[in-house]
């Protein structure tokens, strides 16, 4: 099967790109994956509960419902959605070639590709982590910090870098107090961020301390955290209604490793202000190329950019073909 443009991904970036491309009559094919990277179709939003900061929903909306709506909108305009995972992608020649998990022997081609495979928050694999994920445990303070279950409650952050310092400082707007757990005896954060965190009246930094277990109450929400001193081995149960991971994300870029330019953390590098990658005709949108903002709305924005740039690329390519035909 040959397509003018293929989208790999299933989150806000992918579906926004699909809507724009479908309305432009480019008949996009979107591969939403089948538990790709361990995440259900719809991306990271499917693991969240209330989404309160996506415009247009004054009362908030559930993450799964938001992604279901985006998927339905993509289909409404004619996007072909395939529930299969792209497992190989060859960008060395044109048209680009790819195959999928369920049909590995079948080769498909596309003139343009939008990579919107996202990034996954690193987890700690603590006892109780799966049970209380999104019921007290989160990997995004900006996304979830204002949720009612965290307001005026003791919250904990794991991490020692700038992200941890930023998230802890942000959470002080809502928490009764924020405690940062740092495995080592010092912060990795920049001096400015570290000083700001240490000086804040609503934050405490506990060095040489790790979390080992998350506990909760009958309401199904997190209520306590077991922490351990790494020097003495002594454990302590502390009251904690929220635990925020600030230990990094892993972009889903294995598919294009060695083919597209990436940074030291394996995020796809795009030309500033665009979604253009190091290979013409390949565009990157969403968290796979964004390690700073990582918000649904910014992902959707880059999905729009990728669609418009892919549309222009295809139009320019078609014009070049026509010019070659005239000359011959």
Residues marked as catalytic: 140, 143-144
Q: How many CB atoms lie within 10 A of CB 283?
A: 30
Q: Retrieve residue 270's tokens.
A: 């795009």
Q: Retrieve residue 242's tokens.
A: 């929220």
| Residue 199, CA distances (Å) to 191, 193, 196, 245 in order | 12, 10, 5, 21
Q: Are 263 and 288 in contact (CB under 8 A)?
A: no
Which residue, among 19, 31, 38, 52, has the nearest Cα to 121 in the 3D structure? Answer: 38
**CA-to-CA distance for 302 and 144, rounded, in angstroms?**
22
Angle between helices 296-327 and 12-23 (to 10 degrees): 40
* φ/ψ (deg, to 5) at 280: -60, 135
Which SS3 state, helix, strand or coil, does residue 49 take?
Answer: coil
């Amino acid at each position: 099967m040959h397509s003018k443009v293929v989208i790999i991904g299933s989150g806000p970036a992918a579906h926004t790109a699909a809507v724009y491309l479908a309305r432009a009559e480019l008949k996009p094919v979107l591969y939403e994956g089948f538990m790709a990277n361990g995440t259900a179709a719809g991306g990271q939003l499917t693991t969240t509960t209330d989404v309160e900061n996506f415009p247009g929903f004054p009362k908030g909306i559930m993450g799964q419902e938001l992604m279901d709506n985006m998927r339905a909108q993509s289909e409404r305009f004619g996007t072909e959605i395939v529930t299969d995972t792209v497992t190989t992608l060859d960008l060395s020649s044109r048209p680009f070639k790819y195959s999928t998990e369920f049909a590995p022997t079948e080769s498909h081609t596309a003139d343009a590709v939008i990579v919107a495979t996202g990034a996954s928050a690193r987890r700690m694999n603590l006892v109780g982590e799966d049970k209380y994920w999104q019921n007290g445990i989160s990997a995004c303070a900006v996304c979830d910090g204002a949720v009612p279950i965290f307001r005026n409650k003791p919250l904990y952050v794991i991490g020692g870098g700038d992200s941890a310092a930023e998230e802890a400082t942000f959470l002080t707007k809502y928490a009764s107090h924020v405690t940062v757990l740092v495995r080592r005896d010092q912060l990795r954060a920049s001096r400015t961020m570290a000083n700001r965190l240490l000086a804040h009246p609503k934050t405490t930094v506990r060095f040489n301390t790790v979390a080992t277990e998350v506990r909760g109450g009958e309401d199904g929400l997190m209520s306590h955290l077991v922490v351990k001193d790494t020097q003495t081995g002594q454990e302590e149960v502390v009251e904690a209604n929220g635990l925020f991971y600030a230990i990094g994300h892993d972009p889903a870029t294995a598919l294009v490793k060695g083919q597209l330019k990436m940074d030291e953390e394996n995020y796809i590098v795009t030309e500033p202000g665009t979604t253009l990658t190091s290979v013409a005709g390949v565009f990157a949108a969403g968290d796979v190329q964004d390690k700073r903002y990582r918000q649904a709305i910014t992902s959707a924005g880059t999905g729009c950019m990728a669609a418009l740039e892919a549309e222009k690329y295809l139009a320019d390519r078609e014009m070049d073909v026509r010019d070659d035909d005239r000359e011959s």
